[in-house]
Amino acid sequence: MAEGLRGDTGLLKAAFAFIAAVFVVIVLRELRAIFIPFCIALFLFFMLNGSVRRLLDWRVPKPLVLGGVLSLIFLGIYLGGLLLFTGAASFINHFPAYSERVTQLLKSTLANLKLPLIDVKHYIAGIDWDNIFNPAQITALVSGTMGNFTNFIGNLLLVLLLLMFMLGERVPMVTRISRTLSQDRAEELLDMITTIETRIQHYLFIKTLMSAATAALAALILIVGRVDFVIFTALLVFLLNYIPTFGSLLSTLFPVLITFLKYGFCLRLVLVAAGLMFMQFAMGNVLEPQVMGKSMKLSPIIILLSLVFWGWLWGVIGMFLAVPITAAIKIVFESIPGLRPVAAAMSGE
C-alpha cells in the first residue's frame, strides 16, 4: 500500500513538474519582448559587475562609473548596429546586379544539364526567373529579418535601463535574499550565483576576443580576395561566431556566395572558400577550445538541443543566448540534490 502511494506521489510530482515547465515555456515565448532584453542586461551585468565593484572600491563616484560604463556600451552597440544596418542596406541596393547574375547562372546551368525529359524542359522554360529573384522581394525579406534601426535603438535603451538598475543597486538582490535564509542555504545561494557569474563572464570574455580575431582574419581574407561587403561580412562573422556550430557555417556561406556571384566558379572562389573554412576550423576547433577550457562544461548534444530550443523560443537572439542560459540552468540543477542527475546528463565531462 505504501509503495503504491509513493508511486502515485512520484507520478503526481512528475505531472506537476511537466505542467509547470509547459507554463514557463509559454510565458517565456509570449513575453519574449520583456525577457529577451532582461536576459541580455543580466549577462552584461555578470560580465561588468566585477569591474564596476572594483571601481567603486577605489572610491570612484558611482554616477561617474555607471555613466561611463553605460555610455561605452551604448556607443559600442550603436556603432555595431549602425554598421550592420548600413551593410544590409548596401547589400539591398546592390542586389539587382547580383539577381541578374544568379538568373544567368541558373539558366546556363540547367541548359547545360541537357535533361532528356520533355516535361522537365517545359517546366524550366516556364519559370519566371525575374519574379523569383525580384529585388523587391529580397529587400522585404532582408528588412523583415533585420527589423528597423528605430526598434533596435529602442531595445538597446531598454537593455541599458535594466542594466543601470542592476549595477546601481546599493545592496544586491542576492544579498538581500540570502539574509532571509539560514547560513548554510545562504552560502549555497551565494556560491551558486558566484559560479554562474564567473563562468558566464569567462565565456563571454573569451568568446568576444575569439569572435573579434575571427572577424579580423575573415576581413583580411576578403580584402585579399577583393570580395564585396568586407565590413558587413566581418561584422556578421563576429556576431554569428557566438552561435556554436551553425554560426560559423552561416558566416562562411555569405562571403562565398558573394564571391561566386561576382566572379563565378574560378580559382579565386576556391581560395576564398578554402581560406575561410580553414580559418574557421582552426579558430573554432583548435584555438578556441584551448583558450576557453571547460568553462561551460556542457555536452555537445545539449548545446545543439539548446540552440534548437532557444532558437524556436526567441528566434536568432535565443540562439545567441542559448549556451549561457543553458550553462546557468545546469549550475542551478547542480545545487539541487534531486536534479543533480539531470545536471550530470547535461555535463560534457
In the 8-state DSSP scheme, what is residue 228? S
The mean-pLDDT minimum among 171-175, 183-187, 249-253 falls in 171-175
pLDDT tens, residue by residue, 190-211: 888 888 888 888 888 888 889 9
Is the pLDDT score of 79 beyond 50? yes
Distance CA 155, CA 36 (A): 9
Around Cβ 81, how many Cβ atoms within 10 Å? 17
Is the pLDDT score of 120 beyond 60? no
The mean-pLDDT minimum among 98-112, 143-157, 171-185, 320-334 falls in 98-112
pLDDT tens, residue by residue, 157-175: 889 899 888 888 766 777 7
Is the pLDDT score of 136 beyond 80? no
Give me the count of residues in the chain.
Answer: 349
Give the model's pLDDT for residue 277.
92
- This prediction has a pTM of 0.78
Is the pLDDT score of 5 beyond 80? no
Reduced to 3 states (helix: H, G, I; strand: E, B; else coil), residue 169 is coil
Give the model's pLDDT for residue 223.
92
Is 278 or 264 the better-scoring residue by pLDDT? Answer: 278
Distance CA 289, CA 207 (A): 10
Q: Is 186 exposed, middle or buried (0-12, 13-18, 19+ CB in 10 A)?
A: middle
Is the pLDDT score of 146 beyond 60? no
H or E stretch at 245: none
Give the Å distances, CA to CA, from 88 to 168, 182, 189, 218, 229.
Answer: 36, 54, 45, 18, 9
Q: What's the rounded mean pLDDT across residues 86-96?
A: 71
In whole numbers, what is the pLDDT of the chain averaged over residues?
79
C-alpha 122: how far from chain center: 44
Is the pLDDT score of 113 beyond 70? no
Q: Label residue 155 by pLDDT band (50, 70, 90).
A: confident
Is the pLDDT score of 124 beyond 60? no
pLDDT tens, residue by residue, 302-334: 888 999 999 999 988 898 888 889 888 888 888
pLDDT tens, residue by residue, 18-73: 888 889 999 999 998 889 999 999 888 888 888 888 888 888 888 898 889 889 98
In the 8-state DSSP scheme, what is residue 294? T
Distance CA 256, CA 259 (A): 5
Q: What is the percent of the chain where pLDDT is above 90? A: 12
Is the pLDDT score of 2 beyond 80? no
Is 198 or 146 the better-scoring residue by pLDDT? Answer: 198
